[in-house]
C-alpha cells in the first residue's frame, strides 16, 4: 500500500491538497442543484468541483512512473465497470436502467482521495465538529422554519421536516451514525466528549423521526461501552440493558415525538398481511418504475398497520418480482437506476439492480474496506449495512461522500503508520 501511494500519489500533491480542502467544504454545504435531470439527481455545483479533482487525479496517475493500485481501488474499479456493463445490458435488452446512477459512484469514490489528501494537513475531527455546528443551525431553522420560511432559500426551509444538510431525515440520521462512530472509536477521545456527541446527535435523529438510524445509534453506543469497559462491567452492562429500556419506555411513553409517533404500529401483524396481499396483486412493468407512493398511500387504511411498512412492502415485492422475471436479471440485475429514486431498502436494491454477481462485488468491497482500515472502518461499514436494511443509503450522496472521505483519512493514517514501521 505505501509504495502505491508513494508512487502515483507523489505528483501534484500541492494542488490536490488544496483541491481536497475545497472538496471537504462540500460536506458542510447543502446540495445545490444546477441542472435538473428527469429520473435522476440533478447536476450540482459539487459535480463540477469533483470532476476537476477526478481530472487532476487522472493526470497525476498518467505522470507517475510506477502505477501501483491498491486492492480497494481495484475492487471499486471492478464494481464500477460491472455497473456500467449491467446498464448497457439492460438498456440493450429491456430499454431500462440509468447510467447516471453508475457515474455517481465515481463521484462518491473521489471523496476517498479527498480524505487522503485533506488529512495530510487538516484535522478530520475538527471538520466533523464544524459539521455538527452547521447541522445544529440548519436543524434549528428547519424546526422553526414555518414561521420564517419567507426569508429562507428552498434548500434550507423544509416545511418543518428535519434534514440538516442532507436530502432527507433518513440521510441525516445515517450521516450522524458515521460521525458518532468516528468519535466513539477514535483513540484519545474522552468518555464525556463521546457522550456529549451521542446526546446531541441522538436529539437530531429523534427530531427527524428516522427509526433505522436511531436504532443504529443505540447499537454504536452499546458497542462502544462494551469495548471500553472491563469484563465485570461488560456483564453489568448486559444485565442493565433491559432495565434501561423499560425506564426509557416509561419516560417517553407520554411524550409526543416524531420517531415515537411514527412507530405505534411498527410491529403490527397487519404488516405481514400487507406483504402477502401485495405479492398476489402487484403487477410489474418491463421498464421498472411501476410503483407510485400516492397510489399506495391511498390504498392503505392508515389505521391498519404501519404506513412506512405498507409503502416499503409494495416496493420490495415489485423489485423482487421484476428481478426474478428472467435469468439475465437474476445474475446481472435489472440495472442501476431502474427502480427509481428509492425502494426503501438498500440491500434488496443492490441485489435486484446489480444481480447476484454485483451483490457479491459490492459487499466484498465493503468487507475489504472494513478489514483494511481498522475498527473505525469496521463500525462505519456495519452502520452502513444496518441502515441499508430499510434505506437506499448506498445511493445517498451525503452519506457515501462522508463514508469514502473518512476511509481516505484512515488510508492516510495507515500509510503513515507503515512508514514509521
Taking a C-beta distance cutoff of 8 angstroms, is the pair 25, 130 a contact? no
Among the residues of 42-123, which ranges form H helices?
A: 45-63, 71-94, 99-118
Q: What is the pLDDT of residue 55?
A: 84
Burial label, 31 (beta-carbon count in 10 A; 0-12, 13-18, 19+): middle
pLDDT of 414 higher than 90: no
pLDDT tier at 368, thresholds 50, 70, 90: very high
For residue range 213-267, what is the model confidence (pLDDT) as tens digits?
999 999 999 899 888 776 666 676 666 666 666 655 555 555 555 555 454 555 5
Provide mean pLDDT across the span 371-387: 96
Q: What is the pLDDT of residue 209?
A: 81
Provide mean pLDDT across the span 168-195: 92
Q: C-alpha grid cell for residue 301? A: 387504511
pLDDT tier at 69, thresholds 50, 70, 90: confident
Taking a C-beta distance cutoff of 8 angstroms, is the pair 138, 169 a contact? no
For residue range 78-136, what is the model confidence (pLDDT) as tens digits?
999 999 999 999 999 988 999 989 998 999 999 999 999 899 888 999 999 999 999 99
- At residue 303, what are phi and psi to the nearest 5 degrees? -85, 0
Query: Which residue in 353, 352, 376, 372 sits closest to 364, CA to CA?
Result: 372
pLDDT of 324 higher than 60: yes
- At residue 289, what are phi and psi to the nearest 5 degrees? 50, 40
Instruction: Indicate the average pLDDT of the chain.
Output: 80
Q: What is the pLDDT of residue 273?
A: 61
Cell 480497494, residue? 72
Q: Domain residues of the chain, as ranges?
A: 2-264+333-420
Amino acid at each position: 500500500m505505501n509504495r502505491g501511494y508513494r508512487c502515483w500519489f507523489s505528483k501534484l500533491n500541492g494542488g490536490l491538497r488544496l483541491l481536497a480542502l475545497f472538496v471537504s467544504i462540500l460536506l458542510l454545504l447543502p446540495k445545490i442543484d444546477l441542472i435538473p435531470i428527469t429520473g435522476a439527481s440533478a447536476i450540482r455545483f459539487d459535480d463540477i468541483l469533483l470532476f476537476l479533482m477526478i481530472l487532476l487525479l487522472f493526470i497525476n496517475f498518467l505522470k507517475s512512473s510506477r502505477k501501483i493500485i491498491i486492492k480497494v481501488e481495484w475492487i471499486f474499479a471492478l464494481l464500477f465497470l460491472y455497473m456500467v456493463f449491467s446498464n448497457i445490458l439492460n438498456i440493450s435488452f429491456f430499454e431500462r436502467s440509468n447510467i447516471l446512477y453508475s457515474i455517481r459512484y465515481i463521484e462518491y469514490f473521489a471523496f476517498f482521495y479527498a480524505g487522503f489528501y485533506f488529512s495530510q494537513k487538516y484535522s478530520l475531527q475538527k471538520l466533523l465538529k464544524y459539521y455538527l455546528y452547521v447541522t445544529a443551525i440548519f436543524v434549528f431553522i428547519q424546526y422553526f422554519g414555518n414561521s420564517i420560511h419567507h426569508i429562507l432559500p428552498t434548500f434550507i426551509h423544509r416545511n418543518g421536516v428535519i434534514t440538516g444538510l442532507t436530502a432527507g431525515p433518513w440521510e441525516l440520521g445515517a450521516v450522524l451514525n458515521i460521525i458518532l462512530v468516528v468519535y466513539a472509536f477514535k483513540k484519545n477521545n474522552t468518555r464525556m466528549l463521546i457522550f456529549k456527541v451521542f446526546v446531541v446527535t441522538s436529539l437530531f435523529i429523534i427530531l427527524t423521526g428516522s427509526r433505522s438510524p436511531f436504532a443504529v445509534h443505540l447499537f454504536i453506543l452499546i458497542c462502544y461501552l462494551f469495548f471500553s469497559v472491563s469484563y465485570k462491567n461488560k456483564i453489568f452492562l448486559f444485565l442493565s440493558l433491559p432495565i434501561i429500556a423499560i425506564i426509557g419506555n416509561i419516560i417517553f411513553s407520554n411524550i409526543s415525538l416524531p420517531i415515537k409517533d411514527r412507530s405505534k404500529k411498527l410491529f403490527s401483524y397487519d404488516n405481514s398481511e400487507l406483504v402477502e396481499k401485495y405479492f398476489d396483486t402487484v403487477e410489474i412493468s418491463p421498464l421498472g418504475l411501476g410503483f407510485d407512493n400516492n397510489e399506495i398511500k391511498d390504498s392503505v387504511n392508515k389505521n391498519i398497520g404501519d404506513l412506512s411498512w405498507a409503502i416499503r412492502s409494495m416496493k420490495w415485492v415489485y423489485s423482487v418480482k421484476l428481478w426474478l422475471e428472467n435469468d439475465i436479471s437474476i445474475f446481472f440485475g435489472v440495472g442501476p437506476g431502474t427502480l427509481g429514486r428509492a425502494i426503501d431498502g438498500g440491500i434488496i436494491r443492490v441485489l435486484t439492480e446489480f444481480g447476484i454477481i454485483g451483490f457479491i462485488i459490492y459487499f466484498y468491497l465493503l468487507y475489504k474496506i472494513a478489514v483494511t482500515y481498522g475498527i473505525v472502518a469496521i463500525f462505519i461499514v456495519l452502520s452502513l449495512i444496518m441502515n441499508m436494511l430499510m434505506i437506499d443509503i448506498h445511493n445517498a450522496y451525503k452519506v457515501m461522500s462522508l463514508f469514502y472521505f473518512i476511509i481516505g483519512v484512515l488510508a492516510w493514517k495507515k500509510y503513515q503508520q507503515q512508514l514509521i514501521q
